[in-house]
Amino acid sequence: KNQVEQSPQSLIILEGKNCTLQCNYTVSPFSNLRWYKQDTGRGPVSLTIMTFSENTKSNGRYTATLDADTKQSSLHITASQLSDSASYICVVTRSGGATNKLIFGTGTLLAVQP
């Protein structure tokens, strides 16, 4: 079954600290994996996108890793800021020939406290 699981479900950290969010997937055939940030009341915004051959990709203080063999990905946030408080969603694209399907995780809710 094509699924994306994220952990932890929620996380509270102090401003300035680092954190790592996890994503495990069973989606096949795999096309790409994306991490989105969703602020409360807004639509998701893409942070990174990685294909099968990419192991790591950075976007400022966000660094995503992908292990296609174990079907795991992580999102590392460095020197967290209050504005990082949001839901982080892992999305895996399942190849479907002419059309692809996005499989969403349920997200990790991150709260950064001063």
Partner 1 sequence: EAGVAQSPRYKIIEKRQSVAFWCNPISGHATLYWYQQILGQGPKLLIQFQNNGVVDDSQLPKDRFSAERLKGVDSTLKIQPAKLEDSAVYLCASSLGQLEAFFGQGTRLTVV
Q: Measured from the CB of residue 78, what is the shortest distance to partner 1 in angstroms?
A: 22
- Residue 49 tokens read as 């996108």
Query: Toward partner 1, which CB reaches closer, 1 or 42?
Result: 42
Query: Toward partner 1, which CB reaches closer, 32 or 72?
Result: 32
Question: Where along the sequence are the contacts to partner 1 (CB under 8 A)?
Answer: 31-32, 34, 36, 41-46, 49, 89, 91, 93, 95, 98-102, 104-107
d(CA 47, CA 60): 9
d(CA 114, CA 17): 10
Query: 49 - beta bridge partners?
Result: 34
Q: Measured from the CB of residue 40, what is the shortest distance to partner 1 in angstroms?
A: 10
